Amino acid sequence: MCAGGVPFPTRDHAQKVVLAALDIVTFVKDYKNNSKKNDICFEIRIGINTGPVVAGVVGTKKFVYDIWGDAVNVASRMESTSEPGKINISSQTYELIKDDFDCEYRGEIEVKNRGVMKMYFVHKAKENISAPLHL
C-alpha cells in the first residue's frame, strides 16, 4: 500500500499516485517479458481511491506509520475488483485525474460491504499531462 499527499497535502497527489502505479505495472510487465523460463514471475492488480484518512505512528517497541479510514478500505476494494496488470480507480480519483490520463469506464460494479461503485481502468498518461507535478 502507498499513500499520496501524506503527511503533507499536495494538489496533484492523485496524479503522482497514478504515475507511480503506471510505472509499477510497466516494471512488472517488462520483467515478465524479459525473464528466463525458470524465473519466478507474478501478476499485480492495483486499486486507487481518493479521500480523507487518519495517519499516525503505532507501536511501542517497533514503530510503524500507518493510515486508516474509509478511503483506505475503498482502495483495497478497488484492488480486489481489478484485473491482473491493470489499475482500477474509484470515481473520486477519476474526477481528479481524468484530464491527465486515458481512462476506460468499467461500469458500476458490486463491491463487498459497499454496494455498487463506479470504476475506471487507467491506461496511460495523456501527452498534455501537467508537468512538472509539484506542490
* Catalytic residue numbers, as ranges: 77, 112
Distance CA(124)–CA(15), nearest Å, equals 11
Residue 99 φ then ψ, to 5°: -80, -15
Task: Decide: 91 and 71 in contact? Cβ < 8 Å.
Answer: no
Label residue 59 left, alpha or beta by phi (over 0 means left) and psi (-120 to 50 means alpha). left
Strands 46-48 and 87-90: parallel
Count the neighbouring beta carbons within 10 Å of the beta carbon of residue 95. 12
Label residue 47 left, alpha or beta by phi (over 0 means left) and psi (-120 to 50 means alpha). beta
